[in-house]
Structure 1
Amino acid sequence: MLRVLIAEDEDIIRKGLIYTTDWIGMGCVVVAEAANGQEGLLKILEHKPDVVIADICMPFMDGIEMIKEASRSVKFKSILLTSYAEFEYARRAIAAKVSEYLLKPVDEEKLAVLMKRLEEEITSSRQLDYVMEQAESEAGIMNLEYYMQLDLSENKYVSRAIEEIKTGYGDKLSVESISDKLGVSASYLSRKFKEVTGQTFLDFLNKYRISQAIVLLNTGQYRIGEVSDATGFTDYKHFCAVFKKYTLKSPSKFMKGV
C-alpha cells in the first residue's frame, strides 16, 4: 500500500481528507499529518511517505518549500492542493518537481485516478532501482545521467556514444556503427568506453535496453515479444536471457510479479 502524508493547516480540510476519503479502497494508508510546513518537513523525514499531499499556503514554511527541502533527503511523489486563485502560482512550482495539482475542494474520484497513476509510477521506479542494484552487483551500476555529464572536451566520443544509446537503443546498434559515425576506430572507442564507464559498450547498452523494457512491461500494454523488438533485441530468446541476467527473473515472471 502507498504511504501518504497530508500537510494542511486548515483542520477541517485536513481531517476531512484523512477521515472521509476511502484510502484503503485506493490502496493507500495515511501514515502522518501536519498542520504547517515545518511540521510537515519533520514528519516526511521521519515517516518517509510514498506520496505527500500538501497545501501551498501554510505557516512557517509553504508547501512548495517543504517539498523542495524534503526532496533532498526523501524520495516521494507530491501533490499540491490549490484554489483557483492560486493555480497560476502553483503551476510555477515546477522546480519543486511537484507531481500533480488538485483543486479544493478535493474531488475523490480525481484523487483516486491520480493515486492509481502515482502507484504505477512508484512501482516502475522501484523496479528500475532493483534492476540497477542487480546490475551493480553483477557488473557495476549504470548511471546514465552521470556519464552524460562528463567533461565533453576529454570524453566527447564516449559522451556521444552514450547519447546514441539513449536515443537509438531500439535500433540495431554496435560499437562499429557508432565509431563509423563518430569518425574513430571501433577499437579506440571500445577502449575509451571501458576506461570512462568501467563497462564494455555491449554491457552498457544491454543494461539501458533492459531498463527501458521494464518501463514498457509495466504499462501492461505490450506483449513480451513486442517489448523485445521495441528495445532493440531482434532475438526473443536473447532478450529473455539478458532480461533474466539483470533482474533475476524471466520477463513473464516479472510481469506476473512472481
Structure 2
Amino acid sequence: MIRIVIAEDEDIIRSGLLYTIDWLSMNAVVVASAATGSEGLEKIKSLQPDIVIADIKMPGMSGLDMIEAAQKAKIDFIPIVLTSYSDFNYAKSAIALRVFDYLLKPVDEAKIKEVVLRAQEQLAKNRIAQKAERAESAGASPSPFLPPMVSDNPYIAACLSAIEQNYAEHPNIETLARTLKVSASYLSRLFKKHTSMTFLDFLNTYRIQKAVSLLADQKYRVYEVAAMTGFSSYKRFYEVFKSYAGFPPTELAKQDGKQKS
C-alpha cells in the first residue's frame, strides 16, 4: 500500500483531501497530514512516505522548502505540489526539486487519481532499478520482480477487504484475528506497522470518507448517513465526524445547499 503525507495550511482543502478522496481505491493510505511546512517535514522524517502532496506556498516554511529539506535529509519520496499560483519563480524552483506533477486548486479527484497512479508506476520503476543495482553490487543477476508490496501481505489484505466491504457492520481486529488464526495483538501491531494507523482509526477514516460522499449526494438525512456508515447513534457519528473531519456533518449538509439533519 502506498503511503502518503499531505501538507496543506487551508483546513477545508486539507480535510477535503483527507475525507472526500477514495484513497483505498488507489491502493493508498494517508498516513499523516500537516498544516505547516515544518510540521510536514517532521511527519516525512518520521513516517518515510512514498508520496508527499504539499501546498506550494504555506506560512513559514513553504511546501517547496519542506520538500527540499526532506530531500537533503536523503528521504526518498515522490513530491506532488498543490498550487493556485502561476508564478514562474515557483515553477523554476519546483523543477529543480524534481517535483513529479502539479495539482491545481480546487483539486479534482479524477486528476488526483491520475497523478497518484502515475506516481505509483514511477515508484515501481524506482524500486526495480534499486533492486537491480543492489543485485549487481552483490554480483547477482538483476531480478525483474519488485519486493512484496505491503498490500500483498495476506493479513493486511484481509483487514483492508473487511473494512472496504463491511465498514458499516462493525468489523474489529479481534474477530479478524480469530478468522486469520493469529493473535489480536499481533494483527494490531502488524496493521499499525504497515499503515501507520490503528485498525479503528483506519476504519473510522474510511467511514467518514464514505459519509462525506453520501452527504454530498444530498439523498439522505444526516442521521440516515450515520446508520449507513455503521454508527450506533447520531451523537456518536457527530462526534467522530467532527473529530476526524474538523467540522460537523451538519455544516457539510448546509454547504451543499440543504440542511438534512
**Shorter-chain TM-score: which interval?**
0.5 to 0.7
Shift of 1:33: 0.6
Partner of 2:53: 53
| Residue deviations 1:161-182 (CA, integer Å, cap 9, x gap) | xxxxxxxxxxxxxxxxxxxxxx
Q: Which residue of 2 aligns with 1:14?
A: 14
Counterpart residue number, 2:40: 40
Which amino acid is the alignment partner of residue 79 of structure 1? I
Give the Cα–Cα distance (whole angstroms) in 2 for the partners of residues 75 and 12 of structure 1: 28
2:140 maps to 1:136: no
What do the CA deviations read for 1:123-160 (whole angstroms, capped 9, x no partner)? 11101101111111117xxxxxxxxxxxxxxxxxxxxx
| Unpaired segments ≥5 residues, structure 1 | 140-244
1:74: which partner in 2?
75
Work out whether residues 4 and 31 of structure 1, in 8 Å CA contact, stay in contact via their aligned partners in 2: yes
Secondary structure at 1:109 match in 2 = helix
How far 1:55 moved relative to its partner? 0.4
CA distance in 2 between counterparts of 1:103 and 1:87 reads 13
Q: For each residue in 1:207-255, what CA deviation from the matched residue of structure 2 results, as whole angstroms up to 9, or x when unmatched? A: xxxxxxxxxxxxxxxxxxxxxxxxxxxxxxxxxxxxxx222xxx6xx49
Trace 1:89-108 onto structure 2 (pairs within 5 A): 89-92=89-92, 93-108=94-109
**Is 1:246 aligned to 2:142, yes or no?**
yes
Alignment of 1:120 onto 2:130: no
Distance in 2 (CA, whole Å) between partners of 1:26 and 1:110 is 12
> Residue deviations 1:80-126, cap 9 Å, x none?
1111x445344222112111101001111011111111101101110
Number of corresponding residues: 146
Structure 2-normalised TM-score? 0.53
Partner of 1:171: none
Residue identity matched to 2:124? T
- Secondary structure at the aligned position of 2:142 is classed as helix
Amino acid at match of 2:5: L
For 1:23 and 1:90, the matched residues in 2 are separated by 28
Offset at residue 38 of structure 1 (A): 0.6
Residue 109 of structure 1 corresponds to which residue in structure 2?
Answer: 110
User: Following TM superposition, by how much is the alpha carbon of 1:57 offset from its aligned partner in structure 2, in angstroms?
Assistant: 1.5
Q: Which amino acid aligns with 2:25?
A: G
Aligned residue type for 1:67: I
TM-score by length of 1: 0.53
The question of whether the paired residues in 2 share the 8 Å contact of 1:135 and 1:246 is answered with yes
CA distance in 2, matches of 1:29, 1:90: 28
Counterpart of 1:64 in structure 2 is: 64
Computed over aligned residues only, the root mean square deviation of the Cα atoms, in angstroms, reads: 2.0
Q: Is the 8 A contact 2:81 2:99 kept in 1?
A: yes
Moved over 4 A (4+): none
The amino acid of 1:246's aligned partner reads: P
Structure 1 82/89 Cα, relative in aligned 2: closer, same or farther at 3 Å?
A: farther
CA contact (8 A) 2:131 2:142 kept: no
Secondary structure in 2 aligned to 1:114? helix
Answering whether residue 26 of structure 2 is matched by residue 26 of structure 1, we say yes
**1:178-222 residue CA offsets vs partner (Å, 9 max, x unmatched):** xxxxxxxxxxxxxxxxxxxxxxxxxxxxxxxxxxxxxxxxxxxxx
Specify whether residues 20 and 87 from structure 1 end up closer, same or farther in structure 2 by C-alpha distance, changes over 3 A only. Answer: farther
Higher RCO structure, 1 or 2 (CA under 8 Å, sep 6+):
2
Aligned partner of 1:61: which letter?
A: M
1:4 alignment counterpart: 4
1:58 to partner: Cα distance = 1.0
Is residue 82–residue 90 contact of structure 1 (8 Å, CA) maintained in 2?
Answer: no
